[in-house]
Structure 1
């Protein structure tokens, strides 16, 4: 039997529902294992510096995490108060700020990962490493597609002006 567009739509909706539930459950589990005083969003920023780049503007981080600039500023202030990041004026711009991770921030990220080791060990016992590796590759492709889609949509939705506005990050 040939699947209809409606059938495919329901399958895709079901897929994203499962991904959303997995995200909620895994974040909740991971947060319980984080070092005292570190939130999931704070860990996310520290991990971003490990995965993506050595420095960023607050605007670039807000865009990457799809949060408001105010929400990102709040997270950055809390990380800076713990000396896990450094926020400094950008030498090339009087208004922009540059955010970098400190050695203490790198250590905290590593400590957070190590504190989740018991949870990860139990997970590895329940699922084969090969299956997880294959799914990780597939999920990375989906993430890359959605990230590119988000970028295309942001360009499409930008107000039309005669001047080309620089991207925030």
Structure 2
């Protein structure tokens, strides 16, 4: 990295590297057949209070194509972790919701992620994490508004 690189690039480059490191660590401990993409969908539902979402809304939230999201949802549906039903208000649309099995799978994933998270906590103090969280939440919220 060059001293001439823009500050924003340096910050987002660091976030990208952190994402790569944590994704690799997380993928290594997820239950067999569970991908990071599938876990993030289950986690998204938990974060939103398990509200139903259309595949298009989910694709938009994850900034991926609809076919990519449809593929991820099909695998989750086949495993019984989500249900995909026709939208009663629009016969052309579908609504996705997480199942009890999906909630249990998310909990299992979180249990499996305890090891990598403990490793991170061993090198990052609680004070560091507490200081980072509101800053990262603010960055996420502001960038999320940019895409709307």
The bucket for the TM-score relative to the shorter chain is: over 0.9
- The count of corresponding residues between Structure 1 and Structure 2 is 145
Q: CA RMSD in A?
A: 1.3
Distance 2:10 2:125 in 1: 23
Cα separation, 1, equivalents of 2:81 and 2:42: 8
Task: Could you tell me which runs of 5 or more consecutive residues in structure 2 were left unpaired when the two chains were aligned.
Answer: none
Rg larger for: 1
The equivalent position to 2:44 in structure 1, one of 48, 55, 67, is: 48
Tell me the distance in 1 between the aligned counterparts of 2:116 and 2:17. 18
With the length of structure 2 as denominator, give the TM-score of the two structures: 0.94
Equivalent position of 1:167 in the other structure: none
Farther off after superposition, 131-140 or 79-88: 131-140
Match of 1:83 in 2: 80
Q: Could you report, residue by residue, the CA deviation over 1:47-91 in whole angstroms, capped at 9, with x for unpaired residues?
A: 000002421000000000011110000000000000000000011
Determine whether 1:73 maps to 2:67: no
Q: Segments of 4+ in structure 1 off by > 3 A?
A: none
Structure 1: runs of 5+ lacking an equivalent: 1-5, 152-169
Equivalent residue, structure 1, for 2:17 = 21
